[in-house]
Amino acid sequence: MPDWIRVCATSELFPGETKVAWDGDTPILVFNYDGDYYALEDRCSHEDFELSSGPFDAEEATIECVLHGSKFDVRDGRALNAPAYAPVAKFPVRVEDGVVWTRDDRG
């Protein structure tokens, strides 16, 4: 099982904010959606482009790829509109002692 990667302290990631962490060569985008934490691979499934450069809609729980406008649900990674049809990889998140952790568990 892969090791957990420290993302940040919970006090550094407020609701509506995101942070990128790296697990080896894998960029992981971590979201604080209304006090709950979610993590997706920081790559659009339609075009290999970083989702972190797009807007995170903290009311709708979506992230938009600035390249072609595809939106993804940050809670499960599913694509919500064309041109993306495939989901983005979702990763586990845990919060322990005020620290947010994630990992690429695709092994």
The 3-state secondary structure of the chain, one letter per residue: CCCCEEEEEHHHCCCCCEEEEEECCEEEEEEEECCEEEEEECCCCCCCCCHHHCCEECCCCEEECCCCCCEEECCCCCECCCCCCCCCCEECEEEECCEEEECCCCC
pTM for this predicted structure: 0.96
CATH at 13: 2.102.10.10
Domain total for the chain?
1
Q: State residue 2's pLDDT score.
A: 79
Side-chain-side CA neighbours of 103 within 13 Å: the count stands at 10
Residue 107 banded pLDDT, cuts 50, 70, 90: confident
Give the domain range for residue 23.
5-98
Q: Is residue 104 part of a domain?
A: no
pLDDT band at residue 93 under the 50/70/90 scheme:
very high
Question: Which position has the higher pLDDT, 105 or 1?
Answer: 105
In a domain, 54, yes or no: yes
103 within some domain: no
107 occurs within a structural domain = no
Between CA 17 and CA 83 the distance in angstroms is 25
Confidence (pLDDT) at 92: 98
Mean residue pLDDT of the chain comes to 97
Specify the residue for token string 């599913």. 78
Judge whether 106 lies within some domain: no
Give residue-wise pLDDT tens across range 27-68: 999 999 999 999 999 999 999 999 999 999 999 999 999 999
Confirm whether 72 is domain-assigned: yes
* Residue 105 in domain: no
